[in-house]
Structure 1
Amino acid sequence: MILATAGLPGDGRLADRHRVAGRNLQFLCARIREVPGHERFMSGPTDEELLAASERGPIVVLNLSALRTDALVVRPDGVTVVPLPAVTPERVGALVDTFLTAAEDPAGHGGKAMLDALAWLWDHMAAPVLAVAAPPPGPNGPLPRLWWCPTGPLSHLPLHAAGHHLAGDGRTVLDRVVSSYTPTITALSRVRARRTTPSAGAGLLAVAVGRTASGTEVPLPGAHSEADAVAAIHPATTVLADGEATRARLLAELPRHARAHFTCHTRSDPRSPSLSRLVLHEADDELTVGDIARLDLSSVELAYLSTCDAARPGAEIPDESVHVAGAFLIAGYPDVVGTLWPMPDATGRRLARHFHTRLAEGDDPARALHRTTVRARRNAPGLPVGWANLVHIGG
């Protein structure tokens, strides 16, 4: 009805058509809210709901514009605005280019440029925010939790890895907090509300698509060995490799497994997040996030997307923080691990092995990923391309 009315012949001005469509949408929403259980349909969260979402740790909403850039630190007792005057769209665009260029350098020569960019992010973004949101922790206590909610091009940046990593003086986000991300505060609240304890022995599903049947995708020669490494850590693992990983088989297996580990290509659809998808063996057999969202995911716990750019927003609409990993969160997985840029097979396998080892030893996903990142940084502090790219979403 909305679209039909908006396109009525003779309604000459676009603004008039938009107003008619808007009135019709309001009418339909009002009717739906009269249905028991749908009283808040398409309503924004209340102030109380937004503040309550920060009870587990502060949420930092980052807003970027040509006029000004601010961080909104949301805590149970209110919201604090932290001005970030040096953070401009032009500067952020240059930083994004730096990270992507360094990540795509096969020789790894972009380490210094990436370290310089991470230091700038600390000086002009992370340090002012943490001064308000997370004062330095005590020497023996666990690091506090913090959730980043970036918008627009800021979603391309590894905020969790900002810092002066070669100085050794603690001026890094990794040394101050355990970071997670969320597309929106509402998405975080909803996935927490749905969270249930997975059934005992639900196991892990490892999906490895190293090569597609058409050969049009870049091969992932380490996909199978990564799945095998994960399976060696979790005894109750089902491995689906290449042609075994069909859409029908995945739809059947995902609800039966509390955890899922994907090593394959992904495709993000920024205009229609539900069409973001995993690239499977057959070209016409892709698995969309919409497919997954329609499943009963009441017992799932974690999705680990060891894929190309799984947590990188689509460049087509840079003001939308939409990506495959975030879409998995919205679909029902309360904890999601994704990648900001591609990484060598050996690096991905090593990070995945350590993460799943920590998980098996009792760490929650956010702390397991944090410890994995810190360990990788300790081994190669000058090569952040190999340890700054994994992000935790949700929690």
Structure 2
Amino acid sequence: MMPDRVAQDVDSRMALAREWDELVAQVRDLPGFEDFLRPPRLSSLLPAATGGPVVILNVSQWRCDALVVTSSGVQVVELPDLDQNDVAAQTRAYLDAVEARQDETERGVDSDAVEGALERCLRWMWDAFAARILDRLGYTATPAGDAWPRVWWCPTGALTLLPIHAAGDHRTPGEAVLDRVISSYTPTLRALVEARAATGSRPAGSDRMLFVGVPETPGQATLPSVLTEEKLVTGLFGDRCTPLIGKQAKRETVLAGLLTHGWVHFASHAEQNLDDPSHGGVLVADGVLTVTDLSAQQYHGDFAYLSGCKTAVGGTDLPDEAITLAAALHYTGYRHVIATLWSVHDKQAAEVAREVYQAITRDGVLHADDAAEALHHAVRKLRARRREWPSMWTPFAHTGP
């Protein structure tokens, strides 16, 4: 390259760099954009912990810690019993068990081997980090009254794939997360801050329920409880409910309905591609309503219930990128999302949905801020009857404030 050409390129790059700096400075002068392209200030993230501590789980080859965020600051809880190699091994064993459980659900059988693998994973999480964190927070026993403390889990790495809310030795009373706190998840602190700030921001007329039910899907098992869930939801919401059943539940119709309804319930099969999670989605009448489809629009929803299978499982290559159906709906405007981590029994899915809706619906109005507590007690009730089958009560998870 000629010297003159090199000099011209250098001058051009310097001019572009100056222009970039000037444009960034102009953006930062705009109200609300003071931190544009800057790391968020801690003071702007602490409101995430308004309702209770947020536990960020950090796993690395050097050490593992929990960063416990409260409204007053951050404390570090060392996790000497948590190891990166153990996390990888446990996650692999867990995913193998989940895959086997999904195969069994489709064939209508149950396996003690799968239940044993899930129990071992839940006990390992309890011993490796969950018990230590709850003890440090002072949550050492089952609450005596109705006022349960809440904890938000913000896992990183492979831990994003595990059911932390169900960690515990469930053979011993009080030795489980379910016995001490109400758990929720958040993909980031900022997402939780925004979800808290969105209260009351829904447009007028959006206090309606969109019910999307697909009982028959080619190549999939029939879901007879879809009609049970439809009867439940339409009975609770009456003329506030718009049902899209079977062939009515087409992709474009559903996407349009999401814009005009503050609440949505999906009762259908779903599929998740762990290697390419953005292509997973809910199976509707004319194909798949993918994570990408949902993420292309901004909603003003208050509540989404994903009663389909595998709606809260992300990818393995980029586990920190919480690309799940649940996360997609949460990021795009639904403050509260209830979803399942893997394939669940049709009967148990309908049972938990009934318990949740009856607890959060009054006079045809859904009170979304009660969703986490309602799900918590519904899962504990199911566990009390089927303690030896963790695959039935472990999958249900809440994301949001």
TM-score (norm 2): 0.82
1:146 maps onto 2:147 in alignment: no
Distance 1:271 1:98, change over 3 A: closer
Cα shift readout 1:99-121 (whole Å, capped 9, x = no counterpart)? 33333332232223322221221
Match of 1:248 in 2: 252
- What is residue 326 of structure 1 aligned with on the other side? 327
On the 8 A contact 2:246/2:285 being kept in 1, the answer is yes
Partner of 1:7: none
Q: SS where residue 259 of structure 2 aligns? A: helix
Match of 1:364 in 2: 370
Distance 1:141 1:353, change over 3 A: closer
**8 A contact 1:160–1:173 mirrored in 2:** yes
What's the CA shift for 1:68? 1.2
- What's the secondary structure of 2:215's corresponding residue? coil
Taking the aligned partners of 2:352 and 2:85, their CA distance within structure 1 comes to 33
Is 1:225 aligned to residue 220 of structure 2? no
Q: Percent of counterpart pairs with the same letter?
A: 35
Q: Give the whole-Å Cα distance in 2 for the aligned partners of 1:45 and 1:268.
A: 32
Matching residue of 1:260: 264
SS in 2 for 1:149: strand
Asked if structure 2 preserves the Cα contact closer than 8 Å seen for 1:269 and 1:323, the reply is no
CA distance in 2, matches of 1:314, 1:26: 36
1:126 maps to which of 126, 130, 135:
130
CA root-mean-square deviation: 3.2
Which moves more between the two structures, 84-93 or 363-372?
84-93
Question: What is the aligned residue count?
Answer: 373
Contact 2:251–2:285, Cα closer than 8 Å, also in 1: no
For the residue of structure 2 that corresponds to 1:94, the secondary structure is: helix
Look up the match of 1:317. Answer: 318
Please give the alpha-carbon distance, in whole angstroms, between the structure 1 residues aligned to 2:273 and 2:21. Answer: 27
* 1:270–1:165 Cα change, 3 Å: closer
Q: How does 1:330-349 map to 2 (within 5 A)?
A: 330-349=331-350
Query: 2:185, 2:16 → 1: CA distance?
Result: 34
Q: Which residue of 2 aligns with 1:383?
A: 389
Shift of 1:355: 1.4
What is the DSSP-based 3-state SS (H/G/I as helix, E as strand, rest coil) of the residue aligned with 1:53?
helix
The alignment's TM-score, normalised by the length of structure 1, stands at: 0.84
Query: Structure 2 residue aligned with 1:203, among 177, 201, 208?
Result: 208
Distance in 2 between the 1:258 and 1:290 partners?
A: 18
Q: 1 CA distance for matches of 2:194 and 2:17?
A: 26
Question: Which structure shows the bigger proportion of residues in helix conformation?
Answer: 2
Paired residues of 1:229 and 1:349 also in contact (CA < 8 A): no
Whether the 8 Å contact between 1:247 and 1:287 is mirrored in structure 2 is: no
Contact 1:208 1:262 in 2 (8 A): yes
Does structure 1 residue 86 correspond to structure 2 residue 75? no
Hey, what's the Cα distance between the residues in 2 that align with 1:44 and 1:177? Answer: 31
CA distance in 2 between partners of 1:102 and 1:292 (Å): 30
Distance 1:211 1:65 in 2: 44
* Contact persistence 2:251–2:286 (CA under 8 A): no
Give the counterpart letter for 1:32 in structure 2.
Answer: V
Cα separation, 2, equivalents of 1:178 and 1:231: 28
Could you tell me which runs of 5 or more consecutive residues in structure 2 were left unpaired when the two chains were aligned.
1-5, 7-14, 105-109
For residue 385 of structure 1, give the secondary structure of its aligned residue in structure 2: helix
Contact 2:215 2:246 in 1 (8 A): yes
Q: Distance in 1 between matches of 2:19 and 2:341?
A: 40
For 1:175 and 1:187, the matched residues in 2 are separated by 27
Say if 1:141 and 1:277 are closer, same or farther in 2 by CA, change over 3 A: closer
Letter in 2 for 1:294: Q
- Per-residue deviation, 1:195: 2.2
Q: How does 1:89-104 map to 2 (within 5 A)?
A: 89-103=84-98, 104=100
Bigger shift: 57-66 or 241-250? Answer: 241-250
Larger of the two Rg values belongs to structure: 2
Note if 1:43 corresponds to 2:38.
yes
In the superposition, relative to structure 1, how do residues 347 and 140 fare at CA in structure 2: closer, same or farther (>3 Å)? closer
> Secondary structure of the equivalent of 1:32?
helix
- Please name the residue that 2:12 is paired with: none
- Give the letter for the 1:392 counterpart: H
Q: Secondary structure at the match of 1:286?
A: strand
- Specify the SS of the correspondent of 1:356: helix
Secondary structure of 2:134's counterpart equals helix
For residues 259 and 100 of structure 1, the distance between their equivalents in structure 2, rounded to whole angstroms, comes to: 31
Tell me, which stretches of 5 or more residues in structure 1 are unaligned? 1-9, 11-19
Q: Which moved more, 1:59-68 or 1:109-118?
A: 109-118
